[in-house]
Structure 1
Amino acid sequence: MSTTSPTASSARVPAIYLSHGAPPLADDPIWPGQLAAWAKDLPRPKAILMISAHWEDAPIALGATTTVPLVYDFGGFPQRYYEVTYPAPGAPELAAQVRKLLSGPGVSVQDVPDRGLDHGAYVPLVQMYPQADIPVLQMSMPSLDPRELLTIGQRLTELRDQGVLIVGSGFFTHNLRAMSPDNRVMSVMAEFDDWGRRALNSQDLDALLDFEHKAPAARAAHPRTEHFAPLFVTLGASLSELNTQQDIIDGFWLGLSKRSIQLG
């Protein structure tokens, strides 16, 4: 990937937040097609920077820059889910750029060269870019503080001008006790989803940053906030373009909101 930044008008790609689902995503009759169609509509990225709900590590950590085995960070599923592969090329040049952008006084970036993509990264990518021919780098979240993650996203913004797709991968609501095989949606899940939709559409960044106190049923929708947290990296990377926000995927899967958005 070139280290020269083309003009934004010719090369800037959006930043996205997607609800990544679980390994059975591949069996859903609707969702794989939605992700595939979304990828088709996006400019083809030169590389992908993935921030997944399933990797928290401080200081900020960068995963493998060569192709290594995936991280099957789940249990109790049929064997075929552990046989999925996604041999995307590593992205060492992107890693060097991220390290440069995020390092500074009191801030360090560590390398975890044997850490492969976890299911928050590869499950959606299998559907979006099934050829696995785009370099992918995964980066950890050093905390779940929305403001810290927003700042990190801001410092990564210029990567979009180089054709890098920044992906925050989580789940718009995430409470495993609310999952329903027949897709019954609990009122608290619907309330949080509707609040989030309205906050995003009205560009109410202050409310989003303080979602734990301002959103209805926030604790029920997110007993732990790691699946909402990647949204703030996406928002930070597109802070001047909040008015471009689009709801690309909405609705519910097994009772959880699969709302996914694009900015830019």
Structure 2
Amino acid sequence: MSNVAFVSHGGGPMPVLGDPSHAQLVSTLRDLTQQLPAQPSVIVMISAHWETTDFEITAGANPDLIYDYYGFPDESYQLQYPAPGAPQLARDIAAKMAAAGSHVRLNEARGFDHGMFIPLMLMYPEANIPVLQISLASSLNPVQHWQFGEQLAKVLPEDALVIGSGFSFHNMRTFFAPKTAQINHDVHAFQTWLDDTVTAADVSLDDAKARWAKWASVEGGRFCHPREEHLIPLIVCHAVAQKQGASIPFTALDVEARHFIW
């Protein structure tokens, strides 16, 4: 059974540039691998920073890095994470998904974005584990992504590590605004719902799918995610874990970040 984790990747390259406000996130990411069993044979990354019309998977042997952030120090555009790809496994996954009725396009040209290389620089700094990255469908439809996660769970190697890279809270204006009572209320309401959805023992596979389908109507949902691309990787990961019947340890960082491990 594959291991699954959802991580908050922080603000652009700031976690690896020594930014004090990211110290707790950095510490958690570095410690995360100690909570996982053995080193995985491959990491399958679902990042908030890659959207395509339909699902795609990287299929290059040595993908470049994509510095998809702006206005940071020059050193942030020199960062390196030379993890190899896994083109044959990408083809195998795409073929098995196609046989199950889910189309995944191979993309041999696409590199790794910062939603991939920033957390992995902290989790696996040696960069010696092959990595595949899978895009989000641009629909950002929660049911579509839940179903994709269920199908993905069936075709992964048993010793794969699936990582969703996003944020449990992603309202950019509010990150830098005074924390009013109303803001705290809305954030707390949604984070409580989120924690219950992912960690409650009595939430079944069908219950979880139904809850995610209606996330945007939950109190505080749209406030925490005016656009949901940073939440969708968690839906995929939750579906993978639920489909495999995983138990769920849980680590809370703060009101604006959650890391989940299955």
> TM-score, structure 2 length as denominator?
0.86
Q: CA RMSD in A?
A: 2.3
201-210 or 15-24, larger mean C-alpha shift: 201-210
Are residues 1:13 and 2:2 paired? yes
Q: What is the deviation of 1:209?
A: 2.8
Structure 2 contact 63–84 (Cα < 8 Å) conserved: no
- Aligned match of 1:189: 187
Are residues 1:176 and 2:172 paired? yes
CA distance in 2, matches of 1:240, 1:102: 15
SS for the counterpart of 1:86 is coil
Structure 1 contact 20–123 (Cα < 8 Å) conserved: yes
SS for the counterpart of 1:150 is helix
Q: What is the deviation of 1:130?
A: 0.3
1:87-133 CA distances to partner (integer Å, 9 max, x unpaired)?
Answer: 00111132022202221487533222221110111110110000000
Q: 1:98 to 1:239 in 2, by over 3 A?
A: same
Counterpart of 1:157 (choices 153, 157, 162) is 153
Q: What is the deviation of 1:240?
A: 4.0
Extract unaligned runs of 5+ from structure 1.
1-11
- Aligned match of 1:87: 82
75-84 or 194-203, larger mean C-alpha shift: 194-203
Alignment of 1:109-128 (within 5 A): 109-128=104-123
- Aligned match of 1:199: 197
- Aligned match of 1:146: 142
SS for the counterpart of 2:170 is coil
Q: What is the deviation of 1:231?
A: 1.1
Counterpart of 1:246 (choices 238, 249, 252) is 249
Extract unaligned runs of 5+ from structure 2.
none
Are residues 1:219 and 2:257 paired? no
CA distance in 2, matches of 1:241, 1:105: 17
Structure 2 contact 60–85 (Cα < 8 Å) conserved: yes
SS for the counterpart of 2:154 is helix
Residue correspondences, number:
247
- Aligned match of 2:128: 133
Instruction: Indicate the percent of aligned positions where both proteins have the same amino acid.
Output: 32
> TM-score, structure 1 length as denominator?
0.85
CA distance in 1, matches of 2:241, 2:100: 24
Q: What is the deviation of 1:248?
A: 2.3
Counterpart of 1:31 (choices 18, 25, 45) is 25
Q: What is the deviation of 1:199?
A: 2.4
- Aligned match of 1:98: 93
1:164-192 CA distances to partner (integer Å, 9 max, x unpaired)?
Answer: 11111110010110113998893122332
1:54-92 CA distances to partner (integer Å, 9 max, x unpaired)?
Answer: 111122211242223211111111111111110001111
Structure 1 contact 101–155 (Cα < 8 Å) conserved: no
- Aligned match of 1:236: 239
One-letter amino acid of the counterpart of residue 179, structure 1: F
- Aligned match of 1:60: 55
